[in-house]
Amino acid sequence: MKKIEISINGNKIEVPSNYTILEAARENGYRIPTLCHDDRLKPSGACRMCVVEVEGARSLVTSCSTPVRAGMVVKTNSDRVVNSRKTTLELLWADHNYDCLTCNKAGNCDLQDLCYEHDIDPLDGPYIKYSSNHVDKTNEFYIFDEDKCILCGKCVRACSELEGVGAITFSGRGHHTHISHPFEKEMLLSDCVSCGTCVSVCPTGALMEKTNAKFRNWDIDKKVKTTCTYCGVGCQLELVVHDNKVVRIDAPADSINKGITCVKGKFGYKFIDRDDRLKMPLIRKKGKLVESSWDEAYDLIASKMTSTLENYGPDSFAALSSARCTNEENYILQKLFRGVIKTNNVDHCARL
Amino acid sequence: MTNSIGEIENTDALFVIGTNTTENHPVIGTFMKKAVRNGAKLVVADPREIELANYADVYLQINPGSNVALLNAMMNVIISEDLYAKEYIESRTVNFEDMKKTILEFSVEEGARICGVDAEDIRKAARIYAEADKAGIYYAMGITQQSDGTNHVKSIANLGMLCGNVGIESGGINPLRGQNNVQGACDLGALPNVYPGYQKVTNADMKAKFEKAWNVEGLSDKVGLTIPKIMDGGISGDVKFLYIMGENPMVSDPDLNHIEKAFDNFDFIVVQDIFLSETAEKADVVLPAACFAEKEGTFTNTERRIQRVRKAVNAPGEAKADWVIINDIMKKMGYENNFNSANDIMEEIAMVTPQYGGITYDRIEKVGLQWPCPTKDHPGTKYLHKGEFAIGKGKFTAVEYKEPAEVVDPEYNLVLTTGRVLYHYHTGTMTRKVEGLNNMVSKSYIEISPLTAKGLKLEDDELVAISSRRGKIEVNIKITKRIKDHVVFMPFHFAEAAANRLTNAALDPITDIPEYKVCAVKIEKL
Amino acid sequence: MSLVRSHVLICGGTGCTSSGSISIHEKFEECIKKFGLDKEVKVVKTGCFGLCEAGPIVVVYPEGAFYSHVKVEDIERITEEHLYKGRIVKDLLFKQALEGDVIKSVNEVQFYKKQKRVVLKNCGVINPEVIEEYIAFDGYKALGKVVTEMTQQEVVDEIKKSGLRGRGGGGFPTGLKWQFTLDAIGKEKYVACNADEGDPGAFMDRSVLEGDPHSVIEAMAIAGYAIGASKGFIYIRAEYPIAVERLEIALAQAKELGVIGDNIFSTDFSFDLEIRLGAGAFVCGEETALIESIEGRRGMPRPRPPFPANKGIFQMPTLLNNVETYANITQIILNGAEWFRSIGTEKSPGTKVFALGGKINNTGLVEIPMGMTLREVIYDIGGGIPNGKAFKAVQTGGPSGGCLTYKHLDEQITYDNLVRLGSMMGSGGMIVLDEDNCMVDVARFFLDFTVDESCGKCTPCREGTKRMLELLNKICDGKGEIEDIARLENLAVNIKDSSLCGLGQTAPNPVLSTIKNFRHEYISHIEDKKCEAGVCKALLKVTITDKCIGCTACTKVCPVDCISGSRKEMHVIDQNLCIKCGACIEKCPVNAIILK
């Protein structure tokens, strides 16, 4: 792509000519805050957080949607820009519910971070507080809390542009605009497939996973990137770990699945720490499976293997490997049976 | 898949057959829908009016088991209307004339009759596929789980080559693999006839190669048993010792009554799993395994991409990673692997598996690589058969339509087909233990068309008995216009009303894949 | 074709239709038959005459006799006296059409005399439901000329030369827009007409479509030829049923005659038109929201760029102009750019139609050459302020326009002047306000509309206008603080600067311009708690004047018993208890109680 020169905050930079101002700024280390932007979605220009001053333009322009032009002179932090951003934040904040103390999103909330960064005072301003008190809890995996919604529209666009479902929409006009589902039905009755992409993109606590896990976002121990354990697509997931528990699954955007998940990948992790997981080897004694030590189990298996081998030969063995286990595990299992037992009776449920 | 997931959005036409993609591979389903939004044409063939059918330019509600009839009819249109890729066929394939003869003997109308669809729709579908610059075929178990599944797949290959769609970007023949690592399990030798890397056990060179690599002698050069044959071996007493790592055949396998009998007959059964599954309950020894979040390793996805699995949390109690358990047992049996980590195993895999030759954990730290990746500097392979087929020339194989192994008769007058639902995975070992998922779909059901239900005087949600020649279960019906008349559908996730008590274990002669997608059943009012 | 001696033109516009012109039409037909005149007199249902205040309007030619406020009962007299006996019925004429004993024809009436009719040329003249009448007035001649004699670039050049600017309010040079769309590359291109006229006070687009629908259809075909489009969309609100119906009839006739369709005038040029109905959202007049709506989505604006000229309907290059803009096109093609430039001013050539309303004698549609002063429009054409009240302000441009004062009366009406003065051309609405209008309340009134009509997409417009309205309500309720003015100004400036589309960018105008021109009214509301115009109820007191005769009627109706006083003595209201319900004012037999 051809490169062109533009100026940001007085510094000349070269960027590809198909960039937006936001892309150009970010790549060159100029931070521009956003709320409704997502690289995977078409620019919407809804939140107006990313406005910048462009010389010659009548009003401020949104950097997320405006392409660069050769010779463009951009200011990302002039008083005019900062004042506009602060006003926008004040307006959003004035219409937001203030329960940050108890909100699960605290510490992971774009609105909270930006209000903090811009010194927005929640008690400033003479405005009336509106509350819809509308919380849609019908989905099994997440809730929608209208009073925390800033109408950035990311969920609407993600559901339609990324997921191709279109279960979420805007409804109403003006200040009555709200996120809804077709025909104002509840989430459960819509075409929603509970993929959770809307939850992943929501910048506030409006769409949040239903969870019993008690953790604060700043207490997260680590995020571990891994591959989903369900179907063969191989979606990349980030397991969010707190206190040796997977408490949430995020979907990194820079992966083959482009940050999209299905319901199983995003929410199907709660089997991991269930109490009925197998924790000890079990050996059948008098018809019943009873707990034993690893040594006892290994000894039993080895002796049974040896005797079977002696009495019936290698082909009296069969092993079912698993399409759910790792490559390494499949490899080592067939190695055990081929290399040690000397049988090719190894198969797995590829056919099923 | 010959091609990559990322190529789907940019294709010009998609032919989706025998895959309910939006439920079984939901994320690929979203990319397919995106392709359609980007302007691609979509042809869907499935006995059920699946979600993708809503987006299709042509939707063909074919009878279960009639894929070959449809494919042959489409090829008839393409050949008769001169829409095929002559140059491609000339330079890259062999045996075209043979196939052409078979195809032209099979009329479109005959195909339409067998499939139960309109001949004109078949023509439209054929034209869409043939006229697109880049068209991909996407299929899953609806193609393979047939008693002559190998033929269904060959037929797909014929169609792909006929239009020059194999070996190009955004085209290809793309089986969507059902399980997270079914590709890797196949790649790494969890099959009775091949060592890792599809190296044949019957090949003396391969035998020698592995004897050397593993430092052993006397590897078997006899092709081993497939699962259905293993089960037969259990019943006959030939197989005594069954070792199961992370599978649940007591729910997933066909003709469960038969499986149950086999399990009662094995001498000794070891099961490694994360839960006490229906299968583990039958075992003599059950070993607690770590789940995917508790261990290191790799999975290979449906587009042949080897990606990392990483440990996030500790396994519960004394549970161990499956590879650690096997490694311990090998040690007990007097074989020392010197594997101290999953990475050590991958190093050995790379040494003996040509396709994985270039794979190291370092290289796939951020983004996985797609095999074939034979050397450490190979970038991986985005799509296969570029310029030339792996085997040299692509071979057309004339395939004739064959009836399913079991067809309806006056007694068993309905066709049962099986599959998955969005909210569950396989035998439900994991998903049925996630409250939200289980609440979404908590019990089994049979989908039945309004007309069929009316004929049987059934009401929606009524409990009925459904039986085949092999078994009988009770389950509630769900009346839906989305299924073809006289066809019923059941998900197979539910042990308490297991569809596989009904399914037919008629096997494809080459792959031993059971015919899950077609069997004859009857429904009785209770 | 048979010749008739008289034409009776009956206004069939929305205004006159709603005051009964359909039954007047029927009655005329009946009477004419009765008097055996059906071979000599022809009754024509036309589009709007513009002077809606005088409706239903009937004009009889050749005399040009201008009957106003016509009632069904009058028809028999007009038929017998005027049509049968040849005597104009003076007492039924529009009163300004009669000067002493002299009868003025419709064109001599003050209201029409100063107007220049280009866009409304055929309105009130032809029957819009008969394509032949349009053709008789040079209809489809311009299209014929364009497709047979001109290249695409020549057409665009002619429009560019004319200096025509978008009549939708923004005033963007039309020719340039055509050029951009001609230059844009796309698999397909579209021509679209914005007939969504969202300002409740403006109706010139409706009138054009009701009175002369072919002028728009023809112009769109010309535009289609010029930019290389073969398909057009007219986006019209469903609340304009008569316009929709006439448009449908016109389109069907045009297709029937082959002036719309394949191979127009036997050339390679083909053009098809489709009507899309809008559900009546103000924001759908914004071009990108309109495009979204045409595509079948919720009407919410898209960010620009890309502009519709490059990526419009279905992401294809799209030329979008409004009705009034299109209505100029055929005239420009037929009479030439020079002729067009001879009307109006250098930078704002041509005419502009205004919807005159509010406190003015002649409410209705007026088309004036640009450059005329506000005073001429309000006093000469509009006939001044009724009831001898004093002029206070004129609000131009629709709900997001600004309020101008007497200081501006001698300013010329051009795009740039109005913007310079803090208002705009906008929708072409022109609302005159007199001394009885409170400017804070006026600002609140307009803002209330934009708050409701904001699409809700972008933060400043959705949240900001609502907060501004809250502040205005607070001031009107007598609870305002002096800081509220600065708060309003800060919000207004930021909303204008950062909103996504024109709706938000202009919504604060009424507030800003009233603060600028009538700041004292804000201050007196806040500091003195007074509304001089007597509009803001919360600031008013109900007082009993010395006209009181002490009848006690008021004490009996007062629901809160706050009036005291004995019979035949002047009564007193306890202001602390009074709820200003007005019951006493209504009851008082001598109008002694006032709200001030």
A chain contacts of residue C497, beta-carbon cutoff 8 Å = 51, 59-60, 80, 84
Q: Residues of B with CB below 8 A from A305's CB?
A: 241, 329, 333
Q: Is B308 within 8 Å of A226 when comparing Cβ atoms?
A: yes
**Which of the listed residues A210, A231, A257 is the one where a domain comes to its end?**
A210
B180/A229 Cβ within 8 A? yes
Quick one: pLDDT band at residue A122, thresholds 50, 70, 90?
low
The pLDDT score that the predictor gives to residue B271 is: 95
State the average pLDDT over residues A247-263.
90
pLDDT of residue B188: 93
CATH fourth-level superfamily of B226-288 = Dimethylsulfoxide Reductase, domain 2 (3.40.228.10)
* pLDDT tens readout for residues B92-142: 888 888 888 988 999 999 999 999 999 999 999 999 999 999 999 998 888
On whether residue A11 sits in a domain, the answer given is yes
> How large is the average pLDDT for residues C3-21?
88
Residues of A in contact with C457 (CB under 8 A): 44, 46, 151, 153, 170, 177
Instruction: Specify the domain boundaries for CATH 3.40.30.10 within chain C.
Output: 6-108
pLDDT at A123: 64
Q: What is the pLDDT of residues C284-294, one digit of tens each?
A: 999 999 999 99
* Contact status, residue A345 vs residue A315, Cβ threshold 8 Å: yes
Question: A181 touching C, CB under 8 A?
Answer: no
Contacts of C466 in chain A (CB under 8 A): 174-175
CA distance C103 to C91: 11
> DSSP letter at B282?
G
CA–CA dist C381, C297 (Å, integer): 43
Q: Residue C2: pLDDT band by 50, 70, 90 thresholds?
A: low
Question: Which chain C residues in 534-593 lie under 8 Å from chain A, judged by CB atoms?
Answer: none
**CATH numeric code, B414-525:** 2.40.40.20
C131-340 CATH: 3.40.50.11540
How do residues C414-458 score in pLDDT, each as one tens digit? 999 999 988 889 889 999 999 999 999 999 999 999 999 999 999
The set of chains that have 3 or more CB pairs under 8 A with B is: A
Cα–Cα distance for residue pair C472/C446, rounded to 1 Å: 11
Q: Which of A207-211, A291-295, B456-460, C102-106 has the lowest mean pLDDT?
A: C102-106
Residue B141 · residue B18 · CB < 8 Å:
yes
Cβ–Cβ below 8 Å for A234 and B193: no
Look up the ipTM and state it.
Answer: 0.90
* Domain assignment of residue A89, yes or no: no
What percent of chain C has pLDDT above 70?
Answer: 100
Rg (CA), chain A: 27
Q: Do A227 and B516 touch (CB under 8 A)?
A: no
CB–CB of B422 and A262 under 8 A?
yes
Contact between chains at C490 and A87 (C-beta distance less than 8 A): yes
| Distance (Å) from the alpha carbon of A228 to chain B's nearest alpha carbon | 7
Confidence of residue B437 (pLDDT cuts 50, 70, 90): confident
SS3 for chain A is: CCEEEEEECCEEEEEECCCEHHHHHHHCCCCCCCCCCCCCCCCCCCCCCCEEEECCCCCCEECCCCECCCCCEEECCCHHHHHHHHHHHHHHHHCCCCCCCCCCCCCCCHHHHHHHHCCCCCCCCCCCCCCCCCEECCCCCEEEEHHHCCCCCHHHHHHHHHCCCCCCEEECCHHHCEEECHHHCCHHHCCCCCCCHHHHHCCCCCEEECCCCCCCHHHCCEEEEEECCCCCCCCEEEEEEECCEEEEEECCCCCCCCCCCCHHHHHCCCCCCCCCCCCCCEEEECCEEEECCHHHHHHHHHHHHHHHHHHHCHHHEEEECCCCCCHHHHHHHHHHHHHHHCCCCEECHHHC
pLDDT, one tens digit per residue, over A73-100 is 999 999 999 999 999 999 999 888 888 8
Residues A238 and A200 in one domain: no
Strand partners, B199: B195
Average pLDDT of the residues in C557-572: 89
Does B300 sit within 8 Å of A297, measured CB to CB?
no
CB atoms A283 and B285 under 8 Å: yes
pLDDT tens column, B440-481: 888 889 999 999 999 989 999 999 988 888 888 889 999 999
Among C451, C466, C483, C491, pick the best mutation site for testing chain A contact (most A Cβ within 10 A). C466
C489 contacts on A by Cβ (under 8 Å): none
Please answer yes or no on whether A328 and B6 come within 8 Å at the CB atom: no
CA distance to partner chain A, nearest, from residue B341 (Å): 10
Does residue B180 sit in helix, strand or coil?
coil
Rounded CA gap, A125 and C131, in Å?
60
CB nearest B307 (choices: A193, A234, A328): A234
- Beta-carbon separation of A60 and C497 below 8 A: yes
Do B and C touch (≥3 CB pairs < 8 Å)?
Answer: no
Same fold? B178-224+294-376, B226-288: no
Q: What does pLDDT average to over chain A?
A: 92
User: What pLDDT shows up at residue A28?
Assistant: 95
For residue C464, list chain A residues with Cβ-Cβ distance below 8 A: 87, 91
User: Is the CB of residue B177 less than 8 Å from the CB of residue B304?
Assistant: no
In this structure, which CATH number among 3.40.30.10, 3.90.1140.10, 3.40.640.10, 3.40.50.1820 belongs to the domain C6-108? 3.40.30.10
Touching chains, C (3+ CB pairs < 8 A): A
Weakest mean pLDDT among A31-40, A290-299, B245-254, C211-220: B245-254
- Which of A262, A315, A350 has its CB closest to that of B26? A262
As a CATH number, domain B5-176 is 3.40.228.10
The answer to whether chain B touches chain A by having 3 or more C-beta pairs less than 8 angstroms apart is yes
Chains C and A touch (3+ CB pairs under 8 A): yes
| pLDDT tens track for A273-285 | 899 999 999 999 9
* Cα distance between residue B268 and residue C253, in whole Å: 88
CB distance A177–C484 less than 8 Å? no
CATH 3.10.20.600 fits C351-434, yes or no: yes
B260-285: per-residue pLDDT in tens?
888 899 999 999 999 998 889 999 99
Q: What pLDDT was estimated at residue C509?
A: 92
User: Same domain, yes or no, for A113 and A190?
Assistant: yes
The verdict on residue A293 lying in a domain is no
CA distance C319 to B135: 35
A positions 112-141 inside 8 Å of C (CB): 125-128
Span(s) in chain C for CATH 3.40.50.11540: 131-340
Please identify which residue in the block is written with the tokens 């062109």.
Answer: A4
DSSP state of C301: P
A327 chain-B contacts, CB cut-off 8 A:
181, 184-185, 187-188, 297-300, 306, 346, 349
| pLDDT above 60 for B500 | yes
A225, A279, A334: residue with CB nearest B188: A334
Contact residues, A window 164-203, toward B, CB-based 8 Å cutoff: 164, 193-195
Helix or strand holding residue C175 (H, E): helix C174-183
Position C1 pLDDT exceeds 50: no
Residue A1, burial from CB neighbour count under 10 angstroms (0-12, 13-18, 19+): exposed
Options 3.40.50.300, 3.30.70.260, 3.40.50.740, 1.20.140.10; CATH for B178-224+294-376 is 3.40.50.740
Cross-chain CB nearest to B286 (options A278, A308, A314): A278
Taking the CA atoms of B19, B23, B25 and B30 in sequence, report the sign of the dihedral they define: positive
Give percent of chain A above pLDDT 90: 79
Confidence of residue C128 (pLDDT cuts 50, 70, 90): very high
Give the residue extent of every domain in chain B: 5-176, 178-224+294-376, 226-288, 414-525
Contact C452 A173 (CB under 8 A): yes
Least confident of A245-249, B43-47, B144-148, B484-488: B144-148
> For domain C541-595, is the CATH number 1.20.1260.10?
no
Give the structural domain span for A143. 96-210
Mean pLDDT of chain C: 92
Q: Which of B227, B287, B314 sits opposite A347 (nearest CB)?
A: B227
User: Which chain A residues are closer than 8 Å to B267 by Cβ?
Assistant: 308
Q: Do C459 and A65 touch (CB under 8 A)?
A: no
pLDDT of residue C38: 85
Number of domain units in chain A: 4
Q: Which fold has domain C439-526?
A: de novo design (two linked rop proteins) (1.20.1440)
